[in-house]
């Protein structure tokens, strides 16, 4: 029985998803399929992925600009995590531990998860509690906070802050 090299290349491509790796596999191990050798080639590929030495990979965190629902301050920075950029594991106290994945550097997202308004100190881990600017319509997306909660927060903020009181009374 003869060896059908194009058929073996097709099957190897289904495992390796890269023609260069298939050619390297055939050059090293010949036209035969062995799962142990396929794993070895995949490990070599994963070790040869270039990673920026200074930062340890790409930055998995990006910024979103929000507006405070209490004091209406613009340009509050919210940090969000890119999808599938971190492997999340939980310890016995159910505290998440982050580890970089897919060429991203490791970031302790627990330290930057909560967004805080610097003026009124309204804080929330959910960016939906703030007013967001929509991408398509350029219209503000409302906060998910109920009107009663926002009203109580505004009362507390304006009762404590004398500068805000003078602005309210001058209007």
pLDDT of res. 137: 56
pLDDT of res. 116: 93
pLDDT single digits (tens) 66-122: 999 998 888 899 999 888 888 888 888 898 888 888 888 888 888 888 999 998 889
Q: Which among 52, 49, 60 is positioned nearest to 106, based on CA atoms?
A: 60
Q: Which among 41, 147, 55 is positioned nearest to 100, based on CA atoms?
A: 55
pLDDT of res. 55: 47
Q: Is residue 63 exposed (0-12), middle (13-18) or buried (19+ Cβ within 10 Å)? A: exposed
Residue identified by tokens 């016995």 is: 92
List the domain boundaries for the chain: 5-47, 61-145
pLDDT single digits (tens) 48-73: 554 444 446 788 888 999 999 998 88
As a whole number, mean pLDDT of residues 3-11 equals 85
Question: How far is the C-alpha of 127 from the C-alpha of 72, rounded, in Å?
Answer: 15
Q: Which among 3, 61, 52 is positioned nearest to 32, based on CA atoms?
A: 3
**150 pLDDT exceeds 60?**
yes
pLDDT of res. 51: 46
Q: What is the mean pLDDT of the chain?
A: 81
pLDDT of res. 53: 41
Long-range own/partner contacts, residues 107-112 (CB < 8 A, 24 or more apart): 107/59, 107/60, 107/61, 107/81, 109/61, 109/79, 109/81, 112/61, 112/79
Is pTM beyond 0.85 here? no
């Amino acid at each position: 029985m003869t060896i059908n090299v194009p058929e073996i290349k097709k099957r190897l491509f289904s495992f390796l998803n890269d023609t260069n790796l298939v050619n390297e596999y055939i050059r090293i191990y010949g036209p035969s399929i062995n799962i142990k050798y396929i794993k070895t080639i995949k490990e070599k590929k994963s070790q040869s992925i270039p990673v920026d030495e200074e930062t340890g990979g790409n930055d998995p965190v990006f910024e979103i600009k929000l507006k405070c629902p209490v004091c209406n301050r613009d340009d509050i920075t919210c940090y969000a995590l890119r999808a599938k950029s971190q492997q999340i594991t939980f310890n016995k106290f159910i505290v998440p531990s982050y580890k970089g994945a897919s060429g991203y550097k490791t970031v302790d997202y627990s330290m930057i998860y909560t967004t805080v308004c610097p003026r009124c100190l309204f804080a929330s881990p959910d960016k939906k509690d703030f007013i967001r600017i929509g991408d398509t319509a350029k219209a503000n997306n409302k906060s998910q906070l109920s009107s009663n909660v926002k009203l109580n927060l505004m009362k507390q903020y304006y009762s404590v802050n004398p500068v805000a009181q003078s602005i309210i009374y001058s209007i």
